[in-house]
Amino acid sequence: MAHFAKVVDGIVTQVNVIDEDYFNSNRETRYTGTWVQTSYNTQGGIHLLGGTPLRKNYAGVGYVYDEVRDAFYAPQPYPSWTLNEDTCYWESPVPMPTDDKMYTWNEDNQNWEEVISD
């Protein structure tokens, strides 16, 4: 079995688990449009089981498929964040603190703010 993402205008609209032989034999009739294989075990450009990574990240509905990078990545969360070319993960301009507290990004002040729960 393999995972295939349907891509419409560069955006993933669905991800299906399909037998690869079935997919290939029904490509012309059932799987029209753009379908791109994705690997459930690929995250940040690394294959979690030691295999060959495929397209930087596992595709998710709403993800971008970038043909130039041949990569899947999440939509940009904030205008100030930049895409790491190696992982295709978005990175904030300021690293999130690594203590055991919860934080949320504040785009207006370009910094992390601690989440205080009552």
- Supply the DSSP string of 35-73, one letter for each residue: EEEE-TTEETTEETTSS---SSS---TT-EEETTTTEEE
Phi and psi of 29, rounded to 5°? -110, -45
Summarize the confidence of residues 29-45 as an average pLDDT. Answer: 95
| Cβ-based neighbour number of residue 56 at 10 Å | 25
- What would the mean pLDDT of 36-43 be, rounded to a whole number? 97
* E strand or H helix at 25: helix 20-25
Q: Is the pLDDT of residue 77 over 90?
A: yes
Q: What is the pLDDT of residue 95?
A: 96
At residue 53's C-alpha, the angle toward residues 50 and 57, to 5°, is 120
> What average pLDDT does range 55-79 have in this prediction?
98
Taking the alpha carbons of 77, 81, 83, 88 in that order, is the dihedral positive or negative?
Answer: negative
Yes or no: say if 80 and 106 are a contact pair by the CB < 8 Å rule.
no
pLDDT value of residue 42: 98
Q: Once rounded to an integer, what is the mean pLDDT over residues 34-60?
A: 97
pLDDT band at 104 (very low <50, low <70, confident <90, very high): very high
pTM: 0.89
Residue 118 has pLDDT above 80, yes or no: no
Average pLDDT over residues 80-94: 98
**Over 80: is that where the pLDDT of 52 sits?**
yes
